[in-house]
Chain A
Amino acid sequence: SQQGEEDPQALSIQEGENATMNCSYKTSINNLQWYRQNSGRGLVHLILIRSNEREKHSGRLRVTLDTSKKSSSLLITASRAADTASYFCATEGISSGSARQLTFGSGTQLTVLP
Chain B
Amino acid sequence: EPEVTQTPSHQVTQMGQEVILRCVPISNHLYFYWYRQILGQKVEFLVSFYNNEISEKSEIFDDQFSVERPDGSNFTLKIRSTKLEDSAMYFCASSERTKQYFGPGTRLTVT
Contacts and interface: CB of A to CB of B under 8 A. Distances in A.
Contact of A104 (B44, B89, B103, B105): B44
Contacts of A95: 56
B62 to A, nearest CB: 16
B56 A100 contact: yes
Interface residues of A, number: 26
Interface string A27-62: 000110101000011111100100000000000000
Given A45-B101, A98-B31, A99-B31, A104 B42 contact: yes
Contacts of B41: 106
Contacts of A105: 42
A78 interface: no
Contact of A98 (B44, B45, B50): B50
Contacts, number: 67
Interface in B53-93: 55-56, 58, 89, 91, 93
A102 interface: yes
Contact of B49 (A31, A43, A99, A103): A99
Interface string A62-91: 000000000000000000000000001010
B2 to A, nearest CB: 13
Among B31, B33, B56, chain A packs the most CB atoms within 10 A around the CB of B56
A92 interface: yes
A33 B56 contact: no
Given A43-B43, A43-B91, A106-B42, A99 B48 contact: yes
Nearest to B3: A42
A106 B55 CA distance: 25
B56 A88 contact: no
A35 B105 CA distance: 15
